[in-house]
Structure 1
Amino acid sequence: MPDSDKLAIAAHLHVLLRRKTGRVTDTEWMAVNADYAMEIVRFARQRAQEDNVPELAEWADRLDHVLHRVPSPAARRPLLDVAAQAVRERIVPPPPEVPRYVGGIR
């Protein structure tokens, strides 16, 4: 699922929490930080039961579903490794171009 979809779900949940419970959340942080997002999901589910707001539980479930489709942290590469690889790829000069002759014409 694209990050824009995850951000849209987080934004919708943010608006619901603000309207129904008065809770203010950080939408962008919710979309990129799984621990924060899971805490918001837990809070939303709890308030959905306490305040009888099924819509909160529905959007919390959507965010939870999206979070579990993301690769686990063990499957991700550390940012430092990714950056080091990018630097190495830029440092290595490309192989020299060899002129190609077609027939006898250059």
Structure 2
Amino acid sequence: MPEADKLAIAAHLHVLLRRKTGRVTDTEWMAVNAEYALEIVRFARQHAQEDNVPELAEWAARLDHAHAIHAPAPDAERRPLLDVAAQAVRQRIAPSPEVPRYVGGIR
């Protein structure tokens, strides 16, 4: 699914959660991070049932489908989100081996 569609679903769910539960979410992170989205889907479904808000369950299902989220296996390796984010940042800023480096200076 295109990122723009995921972002639109995340934005709609964000507004619903804010109005119905007071919960503030990170829309952009929800659109790109499946683990965060899974937690938001769980939260939305829980409150849809507890507070009798079927619209929350509907949009949670849309986000679930957008990410094709499946709960991790119980024995799956889980890493703290901070570790995953730090690794992604290191990979993003690590220089590419084919990028020439200038030694000395420009003459």
TM range (shorter): 0.5 to 0.7
Deviation at 1:18, TM superposition (A): 0.3
Count of aligned pairs: 80
- For structure 2, which runs of at least 5 residues remain unmatched after alignment? 70-87, 101-107
Q: Which residue of 2 aligns with 1:34?
A: 34
In the alignment, residue 55 of structure 2 is paired with which amino acid? Answer: E
Instruction: Give % identity.
Output: 77
Structure 1: any 5+ residue segments left out of the alignment? 70-78, 92-106
Q: Give TM-score, length-normalised by structure 1.
A: 0.66
2:66 is the alignment partner of 1:61: no
1-side partners of 2:18 and 2:43: how far apart? 12
1:44-66 per-position Cα deviation (integer Å, ceiling 9, x unaligned)? 00000000000000000000001
Aligned match of 1:99: none
Instruction: Please say if 1:47 is aligned against 2:41.
Output: no
In the alignment, which residue of structure 1 is the partner of 2:11? 11
Which position in structure 1 is the counterpart of 2:2? 2
**What letter corresponds to residue 64 of structure 2 in structure 1?**
D
TM superposition score normalised by structure 2: 0.65
Q: Which 4+ runs in 1 deviate beyond 3 A?
A: none
2:103 matched residue in structure 1 = none
> How far apart are the structure 1 equivalents of 2:10 and 2:20?
15
Q: Name the aligned partner's letter for residue 19 of structure 1.
A: R
Q: Kindly state the Cα deviation for residue 87 of structure 1 after the two structures are TM-superposed.
A: 6.2
Q: Which residue of 1 aligns with 2:25?
A: 25
RMSD value, Cα:
2.2
